[in-house]
Amino acid sequence: MTFRIALRALARNKLRSFLTMLGIIIGVGAVIAMVAIGEGAKATIRAQIASLGTNVLIILPGTATQGGVRTGFGGVNTLTEGDAKAIREELRSVAFVSPVLRRPEQVVAGNLNWNTLVQGVAPEFQYIREWQVAGGRFLHDGDIESDAKVALLGQTVVRNLFGNDDPVDAVIRIRNIPFRVVGVLAPKGQSSQGADQDDTVLIPYTSMQKRLMRITHVQTIIASAVSADRVQEAQEQVTLLLRQRHRIQPEREDDFFIRNLSDISEAASSSARVMAVLLGAVASISLLVGGIGIMNIMLVSVTERTREIGIRMAVGARSRDIMLQFLVEAVVMAATGGSIGILLGIGSSEILKFWANWPTLVSPIIVAIAFLFSGAVGVFFGFYPAQKAAHLDPIDALRYE
């Protein structure tokens, strides 16, 4: 009953009701849109990191205090293929292992050349990195054993050296050594650091060691854990094993460094989350301002409708009826404003997605919270005006000009 009274009262002055709602509309719309942008960014980052392979550990030479050897080119030669083999054979929590050696090289095909990143890897690399083959085949154990001169090309390399032609069985030259193309990699896209993952050539790591680099150690080892919840266990076991193999005294530091990709993913997610929270906080402030707007307008409204309140009391409205009426008016205004704001926010997110190509993700939880929050704003900021209205003296109210 009170609901109907409140709705009729709001409808009586539609323009004023709308203007009052404007603050909430904009506030809620902004919250929804900004959080959608934040969520979209988070999802994109997560997807990019996932494309590096899940449950992956990266083992680098050098100590943690050396700065983690970001470039992967350690100055220290402590990792060997023996280490990789041991990790593979002895540790139950590790599923796949591959040594990785990398160097930028110029690759020649016919009369075209292209500068790319050549990586020496083992066959299990494809499982760790979850990288499919688009044509031909991946490296196999025979290639490793025989230091074979075979290669797989990433999509970018194929495009730049072979155009639309199929490069399988073609010959490319690296440092003037001919390599036969045995396969083409599926596209991978950009890494989370912005590098083009398709701009690469994969060859057997033994070929890399002996033919291109002339070294006996390996630069890095990557491994994948059996499952996501065993990554920590795998990391610990690898640490123990390598300390043992490298004969590191208990009181000395590791001469290697293990990076856990899920840590990186967490770090990126948490910074995106912080951004989203900040944006949400700023937008929430505008919601609060919207609430203050409601309170102000309602106070004015109570004053303007003093006579009306007197009439209602004269025909039998109790204090509580008046209080409820104005509270409901405030909540209805806030909730309606919130709903319009939600639609506006979703609309803006969709527009950004289609026109500006920003990844946006509207979260239903945020929508529900925004709606409830606007209702709460209505109750909170409507309370004081409603109370004022309810405590008017009917005799004075009826006399009010």
CB of residue 394 to other proteins, shortest distance in Å: 5
Query: Considering beta carbons, is residue 92 or 320 the nearer one to other proteins?
Result: 320
Separation CA 256–CA 242 (nearest Å): 8
- Residue pair 154/197 in contact by the 8 Å Cβ criterion: yes
DSSP secondary structure of 371-390 = HHHHHHHHHHHHHHHHHHHH
When the beta carbons of 17 and 54 are compared against other proteins, the nearer one is: 17
Residue 35: other Cβ atoms inside 10 A: 26
Distance of closest approach, residue 387 Cβ to other proteins, in angstroms: 14
Nearer to other proteins by Cβ, of 13 and 262: the residue is 13
Taken in order 185, 190, 193, 199, the sign of the CA dihedral is positive
DSSP assigned state of 195: -
Cα 321 from Cα 239, distance rounded (Å):
72
Q: Which is nearer to other proteins, 253 or 393 (CB)?
A: 393
CB of 8 to other proteins, least distance (A): 7
In angstroms, what CA-CA distances link 241 with 159, 235, 236?
42, 10, 9
Return the number of the residue (1 or 365) whose C-beta is nearest other proteins: 1
CA distance 282 to 263: 28
Shortest gap between Cβ of 386 and other proteins (angstroms)? Answer: 16
Amino acid at 10: L
Q: At what angle do helices 364-390 and 319-351 cross, to 10 degrees?
A: 150
State the nearest-atom distance from the C-beta of 384 to other proteins, in Å.
Answer: 20
**In terms of Cα–Cα distance, which of 120, 105, 114, 192 is closest to 156?**
114
Q: Which residue has the tokens 């909540």?
A: 331
Q: What is the DSSP letter of 196?
A: B
CA–CA separation, 74 vs 230, rounded Å? Answer: 27
Helix (H, G, I), strand (E, B) or coil at 253: coil
Of the two residues 352 and 398, which places its CB atom closer to other proteins in the complex? Answer: 398
Minimum CB distance to other proteins, residue 305 (Å): 9
Q: How far is the CB of 361 from other proteins (least distance, A)?
A: 44
CB of 335 to other proteins, least distance (A): 22
CA separation for the pair 267, 263 (Å, rounded): 6
Output the smallest distance, CB 327 to other proteins, in A. Answer: 16
Write the DSSP string, 213-262: I--SS-SEEEEEESSGGGHHHHHHHHHHHHHHHTT--TTSPPSEEEEEHH
DSSP string, 294-319: HHHHHHHHHHHTHHHHHHHHHTT--H
Residues forming the site for other proteins (CB under 8 A):
1, 4-5, 8, 12-13, 307-308, 310-321, 394-395, 398
Nearer to other proteins, 8 or 252 (CB): 8
Nearer to other proteins, 185 or 386 (CB): 386
Q: Which is nearer to other proteins, 158 or 313 (CB)?
A: 313
